[in-house]
Amino acid sequence: MTQEWDAGRLDSDLEGVGFDTLAVRAGQHRTPEREHSDPLFFTSSYVFRTAAEAAATFAGEIPGNVYSRYTNPTVASFEERMAALEGGEQAVATSTGMSAILATVMSFCSAGDHVLVSKSVFGSTISLFEKYFKRFGVDVDYVPLAELSGWDAAIKPNTKMLFVESPSNPLAELVDINALAEIAHAKGALLVVDNCFCTPALQQPLRMGADVVVHSATKFIDGQGRAMGGVVVGRSELMKEVVGFLRTAGPSLSPFNAWLFLKGLETLNIRMRAHCQSALELAQWLEQQEGIEKVHYSGLVSHPQHALAKRQQKAFGAVVSFEVKGGKDGAWRFIDATRLISITANLGDTKTTITHPSTTSHGRLSPQEREAAGIRDSLIRVAVGLEDVADLQADLVRGLAAL
């Protein structure tokens, strides 16, 4: 954008507007072409009028784009919109959700620092901490997600960060974010919350005291299983470190994927309401079926943290996990008998998916690590899409008949 251009009334006045309006309009700054939809900038570099202007832009003395590994207008629009929805000062987009976690830890931790991680996190997150961060001198311990006393007791003088998923993948466990933030801050540590399963439509951890929020935008932010991406959100002073890591290491989000995510955010709230309504109906139905030993979904009154979920979230999410009779063999027979639902480990799609976590998303963990995370061989995860619930139930009946 040239410094001379002033969009004026062409840009929307967003002072005091609501969540849905921000999801549709935040972050868009119209160009001299006066486009209505978000523009897509396919370019690796940017040109300058003079050498002096180039030097000042690269030095950060004047605003402007310098290189798309670092800044791109389409990516910047997505970042601004995500920051607005999460209630953060600044967001930094990354190439994947895992690179968002990588950028966060690399930005705030050094060799000799200690990190506390929930036992109930995604399998690849555990692998990242165990196989890579530990290799470079970061001390890592794991704590049961919901046990606040355990978090407090496990903090050391060199603890730099507490990292959680709430709700967790795939068991829908929660932690009291407000209370955990107080524990972290009392000991001088940062609280990082993976908000992938809720999205800001259901939960805004920064408003509950968290310091940093991370997302796999690949999931519900996109909403249609089209693109890979991630994002880190927090205070500007913290995000400066993440920007520096991104600029140097380069796990950057592509402009096209950022554009897809902008389109996804426009329907985020209405999609999440529909996902959650269907997931609750399906979870309640599953709880009544013979052959189902246990259903994990915080929207159920039987869930041990149902009251916390009602207080902390606007709804209960789209992921329903359940344990079936027959262990791994039973779970595989159940999955193989379905004919409508997609067998894939992705989630957050309009299409419902089904997977066996202990041999897919958590398959690289040792049996001991899976046991610690509560991932049993009998567990099946269903990420509920936007199909008719009656059709999903009919397909799951096929699975039940195979037990």
Question: One digit per residue, pLDDT tens: the chain, 403 residues?
Answer: 455 789 999 999 999 999 999 999 999 999 999 999 999 999 999 999 999 999 999 999 999 999 999 999 999 999 999 999 999 999 999 999 999 999 999 999 999 999 999 998 988 999 999 999 999 999 999 999 999 999 999 999 999 999 999 999 899 999 999 999 999 999 999 999 999 999 999 999 999 999 999 999 999 999 999 999 999 999 999 999 999 999 999 999 999 999 999 999 999 999 999 999 999 999 999 999 999 999 999 999 999 999 999 999 999 999 999 999 999 999 999 999 999 999 999 999 999 999 999 999 887 778 888 877 788 999 999 999 999 999 999 999 999 999 9
Q: Strands 212-216 and 190-194: what pairing?
A: parallel
Element of type H or E holding 244: helix 236-249
Q: Torsions phi, psi of 165, nearest 5?
A: -105, 130
- 3-state class (DSSP) for residue 232: strand
| Amino acid 3: pLDDT | 58
Task: Kindly state the helix (H) or strand (E) to which residue 324 belongs, with its residue range.
Answer: strand 319-324
Start and end residues for every CATH 3.40.640.10 domain found in the chain: 18-264
Which stretches within 59-208 are classed as H helix?
73-86, 97-108, 123-127, 148-154, 177-186, 199-202
Predicted local distance difference test score (pLDDT) of residue 177 = 98
| pLDDT for the residue 373 | 78
CATH number listed for the domain at residues 18-264 = 3.40.640.10
- Is the pTM of the predicted complex or chain greater than 0.85? yes
- CA 341 distance to own-chain centroid: 23
What is the greatest pairwise CA distance in the chain? 74
The CATH homologous superfamily to which domain 270-401 belongs is Aspartate Aminotransferase, domain 1 (3.90.1150.10)
Q: According to CATH, where is 3.90.1150.10 located in the chain? A: 270-401
pLDDT given at position 317: 97
Cβ partners under 8 Å of residue 329, min gap 6: none
Place of tokens 């207080």: 311
> Residue 384 phi/psi, 5° resolution?
-75, 125
Type of residue found at 37: S
